[in-house]
């Protein structure tokens, strides 16, 4: 299955993962994979999400951009995470 990657830069705090995954469940978006870790001095995190190829991708990105904790959203076509997930 083809997966689309979304690369997020977020504020790093205890609740940020809930903010992101909460958006997906609240809006009935399908989240296939997620990988996350702190970057820089630790006050920011990078999250890479994969979502199934569906028509909601545009709306997912727009909703993610509205979140206070989200600093940057990028769509990536060939996410290295797809390969990681395939090995699980």
Partner 1 sequence: MEISGAELVIRLLERQGIEFICGIPGGSNLPIYDVLRDSSIKHILARHEQGAGFMSQGMARTTGKAAVCMATSGPGVTNLLTAIADASLDSIPIVAITGQVSASLIGTDAFQEVDTYGLSIPITKHNFLVQSAKDLLTVIPEAFRLAESGRPGPVVVDIPKNVQKEMVEFESYPEIGIKQPLPMCNEKYLEKAVAMISGARRPVIYAGGGIIAAGATDDLIRFAHKNSIPVVTTLMGLGAYPHGDPHYLGMLGMHGERATNMIMEEADLLIALGVRFDDRAVGKSCEFCKHADILHIDIDRSEIGKIKPSNFSIVGDVGHALKAFADRVEPSIRIGWSARVSSLRMLHPEILPDKEDFFHPMNLLRVTSESLSEQSIITTDVGQHQMWVAKGYPFKKPRTLLTSGGLGTMGFGLPNAIGAALANPDRRVVCVSGDGSILMNIQELATLAEHHLNVKVLIMNNNRLGLVRQQQAMFFEERYFASTFDSSPDFVAIAKGFGVPAFDLSEEENPSLFLRKLLGQDGPCVINIPIDFDNKVLPMVPPECANREMIGG
Which residues in this chain contact partner 1 in the complex, by CB under 8 A? Answer: 14-15, 18-19, 22-23, 25-26, 58-59, 62-63, 65-68
The radius of gyration computed from the CA coordinates of the chain, to the nearest angstrom, equals 12
Nearest-approach distance from CB 44 to partner 1, in angstroms: 17
- Pick the closer one to partner 1 by CB: 25 or 30: 25
Question: Do the strands 33-39 and 44-52 form a parallel or antiparallel pair, or are they unpaired?
Answer: antiparallel
Nearest-approach distance from CB 34 to partner 1, in angstroms: 16
Nearest-approach distance from CB 88 to partner 1, in angstroms: 27
Q: Which residues have C-beta within 8 Å of that of residue 87, sequence separation ≥ 6?
A: none
Kindly state the helix (H) or strand (E) to which residue 2 belongs, with its residue range: none
């Amino acid at each position: 299955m083809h997966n689309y990657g979304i690369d997020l830069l977020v504020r790093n705090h205890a609740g940020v993962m809930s903010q992101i995954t909460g958006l997906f469940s609240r809006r009935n978006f399908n989240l296939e994979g997620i990988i996350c870790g702190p970057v820089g001095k630790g006050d920011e995190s990078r999250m890479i999400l994969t979502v199934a190829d569906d028509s909601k991708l545009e709306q997912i990105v727009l909703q993610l951009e509205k979140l206070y904790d989200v600093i940057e959203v990028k769509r990536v076509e060939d996410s290295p995470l797809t390969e990681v997930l395939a090995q699980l």
